[in-house]
């Protein structure tokens, strides 16, 4: 009997998502399967208040990427202008976080929806619909659940560490001070428990995926899930494709490699996907008790995410 094509998988696919790496993987996935089958559970640890507005960097990266308007640098909207930000700087306001004029509309709309009583999940859904997206996107929680980075300079809000200080501080620990009282958003536990395929996107394990796992019930739902569980390494050839993952893994005592990431996820997954350049690490990952898929995991240009998504689904069926 021939194995069915990966696209014939008809169950639900749930993706644990950070920012741009997850966004590109999801774009590939949506080129492969119907959007109605896909649920992204995304990180809210990077969310912060900017001049009274609720900014959600991870979900915006995902939404903008899927809508085809993502800025080339991995944030904001392509071709955006910065009239308001410049005027804000002239008024003496904090302008270290780059928010363009079109991008700003997203934060205004989200804030208006939240002030009007919507949950973060509802606001996200409304913004996704306005951009024509049909997948389900759930914040891991509707509650405040910020990521705090512990450095030699003290504890820093995530965006202060990441943007204002350009991720230059050695990270000693990552804290989720509100995790204990955060409740999974409606649908999150079900999407983890009932999925046919569960994917940990190639996102930062420490500040994108760990905040998801820190919400009570999430880790247990993944452990108990009957889904085929697959993680994709965000580390290729000992470096992060984007962002501070490599330095952060190192300063927090992890091995900076696909193997180091596999070891972090070993109790949560069945299959680990690593890049061709890391083929030599496959035996060590297999020795952790995981199935290994070696493939091309770089998603530049973004079209290569289609092939990665198809490979991941195929691996999940194997």
CA gap 152, 7 in Å, rounded: 48
**Which C-beta is closer to its own copies: that of 84 or that of 295?**
84
**Which C-beta is closer to its own copies: that of 159 or that of 208?**
159
C-beta of 278: minimal distance to its own copies in Å? 41
C-beta of 255: minimal distance to its own copies in Å? 42
Long-range pairs for 56-59: beta carbons < 8 A, 24 or more residues apart: 56/110, 56/120, 56/124, 56/139, 57/19, 57/159, 58/17, 58/18, 58/19, 58/22, 58/208, 59/124, 59/137, 59/139
Which of 70, 106, 233, 257 binds its own copies (CB under 8 A)? It is 106
C-beta of 48: minimal distance to its own copies in Å? 12
C-beta of 91: minimal distance to its own copies in Å? 5
C-beta of 89: minimal distance to its own copies in Å? 8
Contact call for residue 314 and its own copies (CB under 8 A): no
Which of 4, 34, 35, 93 binds its own copies (CB under 8 A)? It is 93
CA gap 201, 234 in Å, rounded: 8
Find out whether 207 and 234 touch, Cβ atoms under 8 Å: no
**Which C-beta is closer to its own copies: that of 106 or that of 136?**
106
Contact call for residue 173 and its own copies (CB under 8 A): no
CA distances from 38 to 94, 124, 225, 272 (A): 38, 15, 16, 20
Contact call for residue 84 and its own copies (CB under 8 A): yes
Contact call for residue 164 and its own copies (CB under 8 A): no
Find out whether 46 and 144 touch, Cβ atoms under 8 Å: no
Contact call for residue 157 and its own copies (CB under 8 A): no
C-beta of 202: minimal distance to its own copies in Å? 29
Contact call for residue 109 and its own copies (CB under 8 A): yes
C-beta of 23: minimal distance to its own copies in Å? 19
Question: Which window, 37-45, 122-130, 167-175, 270-278, contacts its own copies (CB under 8 A)?
Answer: 122-130
Contact call for residue 105 and its own copies (CB under 8 A): yes
Contact call for residue 92 and its own copies (CB under 8 A): yes
For the segment 26-65, give every residue that binds its own copies (CB under 8 A).
Answer: 49, 51-54
Contact call for residue 88 and its own copies (CB under 8 A): yes
**Which C-beta is closer to its own copies: that of 39 or that of 111?**
111
Contact call for residue 281 and its own copies (CB under 8 A): no
Which positions touch its own copies (CB under 8 A)? 49, 51-54, 81, 83-85, 87-88, 90-94, 101-102, 104-106, 108-109, 111-112, 114-115, 126-127, 130-131
């Amino acid at each position: 009997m021939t194995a069915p094509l990966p696209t014939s998988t008809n169950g639900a696919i749930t993706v644990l998502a950070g920012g741009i790496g997850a966004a590109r993987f999801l774009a590939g996935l949506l080129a492969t399967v119907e959007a109605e089958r896909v649920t992204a559970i995304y990180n809210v640890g990077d969310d912060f208040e900017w001049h009274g507005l609720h900014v959600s960097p991870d979900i915006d990266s995902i939404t903008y990427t899927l809508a085809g308007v993502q800025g080339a640098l991995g944030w904001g909207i392509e071709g955006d202008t910065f009239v308001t930000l410049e005027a804000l700087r002239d008024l003496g306001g904090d302008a270290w976080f780059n928010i363009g004029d079109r991008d700003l509309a997203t934060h205004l709309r989200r804030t208006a929806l939240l002030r009007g009583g919507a949950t973060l999940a509802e606001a996200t859904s409304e913004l996704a619909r306005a951009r024509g997206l049909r997948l389900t996107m759930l914040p891991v929680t509707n509650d405040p659940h910020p990521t705090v980075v512990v450095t030699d300079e003290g504890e820093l809000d995530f965006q202060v560490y990441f943007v204002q200080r350009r991720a230059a501080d050695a990270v000693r620990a990552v804290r989720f001070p509100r995790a204990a009282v955060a409740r999974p958003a409606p649908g999150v536990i079900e999407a983890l428990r009932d999925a046919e395929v569960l994917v940990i996107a190639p996102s930062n394990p420490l500040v994108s995926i760990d905040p998801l796992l820190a919400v009570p019930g999430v880790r247990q739902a993944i452990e108990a899930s009957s889904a085929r569980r697959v993680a994709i390494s965000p580390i290729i050839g000992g470096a992060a494709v984007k962002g501070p993952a490599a330095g952060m893994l190192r300063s927090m005592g992890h091995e900076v490699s696909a193997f180091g990431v596999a070891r972090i996820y070993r109790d949560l997954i069945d299959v680990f996907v690593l890049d061709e350049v890391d083929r030599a690490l496959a035996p060590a990952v297999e020795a952790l008790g995981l199935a290994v898929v070696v493939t091309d995991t770089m998603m530049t240009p973004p079209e290569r995410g289609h092939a990665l998504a198809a490979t991941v689904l195929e691996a999940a069926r194997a």
